[in-house]
A and B are shown apart, each in its own frame.
Chain A
Amino acid sequence: MKKSFLLLAAIFFLVSCGVRMEPKIEMETSSKVLNVYIWTNYLPREVVDEFQRRTGIAVNVDTYDSNEAVLEKLQSGVADYDLVVPSDYMLKVLIPQGLVRPLDRARLPHFKNLDPRFLDQKFDPGNGHSIPYLWGTTGIGYNKKVGTVDSWRVLFDPKYSGRILMLDDPREAFGAALKLMGRSINERDPGVLRQAAEMLKRQKPLVRTYNSSDFANLLAAGDVDLAHGYNGELAEVVANAPDRLAYAVPKEGGTLWIDNLSIPKGARNLDSAYVFLDYLMEPEVAAKIVNGVHYAGANQAALPLIDAKIRQDPSIYPSKEVLDRCELIEDLGKTTQLIDELWTEVKAR
């Protein structure tokens, strides 16, 4: 009898813990707070501190490591985030599900500072639900002993047999082959895709490894001389060994990715979220962010204020001509299945 009483008491204790948490959160809503859910190394400390000083709004920053984490939290319906930073393709999932709020442009006067190149993209036409924040590219990190790289061709060149790393990602690998063929990364023609698959099959004996997580370190360690990869990680290793390593977006163009600011449907601190969104688009603030995180920003007015070293680094800000040939990965609907099948064929051989 006693023991069941103890158990019951413990359960009550547990339940009361949960209940006690509720009013605490209500209280925070009435005072000024903002809960931000963002990628690691995406928001310099000083930018947050200045915002808190200026507005008195306390900012809680939680970090995540994948777009899927954002999806999971927003779908739960009980996460208290007021601002999230999903990538382009994830917005294609979040917007139709109504998980992010339509934005009131009247409350975002600094929106005019953004570079039109990154606005009105297919994942969110008219930017009704999102604001471009930081962006980057997929290209080739390479050891300078192979010479200067400016084309996807090197990844298919038998001369570098056993020294090549490809991203273990069907869309990125097909993207490289398709770009070399002069086609779009978002090609849907099954015939063209089969040709691309043939190219990748012929390339396979040359490839040392398919790897999407450790490509930058393998390049730095000298295990490979040519690494297909994302610019953020590659820029990091290049910056540490600029005499030995380099990064290039091939002249045929590569993949472009854009991470965007959005307000979740369930945001409770809407006013704070708008104030913060607009603050992030101020030229001085946007420049501080780029200088701090070393990713390219989508703010045009901030460009003159960005450190010349970053602004003129083609691995962070590729030239206009190259950027014009870069494409966002789009959802290909039914074609996705064909690409997955072809990719399995490539990998299985």
Chain B
Amino acid sequence: MKGTRRLLAAHTALVYLFLYAPIAILVVFSFNASRQTAFWSGFTLDWYRQLFANPLLFRAVRNSLVVAGATTFIAVLLGTPAALALARHEFRGKRATQALLYLPVIIPEVVLGAALVTFFGAAGLRLSIATVVIAHVVFSVSYVAIVVRARLAGLDPALEEAARDLGAGPFETFRRVTLPLAAPGILASALLVFTLSIDDYVITSFVAGVGATTLPLHIYSMLKVGVTPEVNAVSTLLLAGTIVLIVIAHYLLGKDLLAKGPS
């Protein structure tokens, strides 16, 4: 029994090492004094200093934040009502609606990117930061709908019925009962979508236009001259931001989603 447990612990440790060692090395080497990513030759903050002096990089960060912010806002606005409809109402074509809603999550990113750029071309919509937002909303809405719906499914419909019995109209019920109860799910989905949007490379690379270079696009183009510590430094910052958001999302989702497993 004890031996098995020790074996399990060792196995777990190895899996975690496998998952996180490359990331740890990347973070460590962002403080490496040598330009080479292969040797350690002393601690420095130079790469971070260089980053902050780089206007192109700053524009990329700003673009990423604008895109992720706008995407989150629109996706929540579109996805929440969809989740509500699917969780609370029966209507013709519900199954089809549901399947179609989940499709963008399943479709390979390359296909979605190529399809979107073809669509923008046919529609005559010039590629810009707006097309990036539209593209991100396409896949984000599905995530919002899935997460919010899971939250709603765990709520007791009796609470809403009680509100109606007590004389609240449909809108008041929504505003004072359904919305506050669904809020943690909405917030969690917003954070999830924000991180997905800020990390996206494939779809963005297809639909980005003038002045719309986002942080992942910029990092990728920096790689042309090899992995420099500057790339490590940006990646570390991106990683730190993402981790913070994911921790918050997990905290908010904690009691609901994780306990029940993926839905």
Contacts and interface: CB of A to CB of B under 8 A. Distances in A.
B207 to A, nearest CB: 8
B125 A18 contact: yes
Interface string B165-204: 0000011001000000000000000000000000000000
A69 B205 contact: yes
Nearest to B54: A45
A40 B225 contact: yes
Contact of B130 (A10, A18, A76, A232): A18
Contacts of A241: 36
B105 interface: no
Contact of A22 (B34, B55, B126): B126
Contacts of B222: 40
A241 B36 CA distance: 10
B171 A233 contact: no
Contacts of B125: 18, 21, 78
B226 A216 contact: yes
Chain A's interface: helix, strand, loop or mixed, by majority? Answer: helix
Contact of B85 (A3, A10, A41, A216): A3
A236 to B, nearest CB: 6
Contacts of A85: none
B56 A63 contact: yes
Contact of A10 (B77, B205, B213, B226): B77
A35 interface: yes
A14 B134 contact: yes
B38 interface: yes
A31 B29 CA distance: 45
B37 interface: yes
Contacts of A25: 126, 128
B118 to A, nearest CB: 8
A22 B125 CA distance: 8
Contacts of B36: 217, 220-221, 237, 240-241
A47 B222 CA distance: 19
Interface in A47-98: 60-65, 69, 72-73, 76-81
Contacts of A217: 36-38, 226-227
A77 B224 CA distance: 26
Nearest to A42: B224
A169 interface: no
Contacts of A10: 74, 77-78, 81
Given A64-B221, A78-B209, A6 B127 contact: no
B121 interface: yes
Given A10-B77, A22-B126, A62 B38 contact: no
Given A17-B130, A240-B34, 17 more contacts: A2-B174, A3-B81, A13-B77, A18-B131, A22-B126, A45-B55, A65-B224, A76-B118, A76-B120, A78-B121, A80-B126, A80-B209, A217-B227, A220-B38, A220-B39, A221-B36, A241-B36
Those 10 A-B pairs whose CB atoms lie nearest each other, nearest first: A221-B38, A63-B221, A40-B221, A21-B130, A65-B221, A35-B210, A80-B210, A3-B81, A6-B81, A10-B78
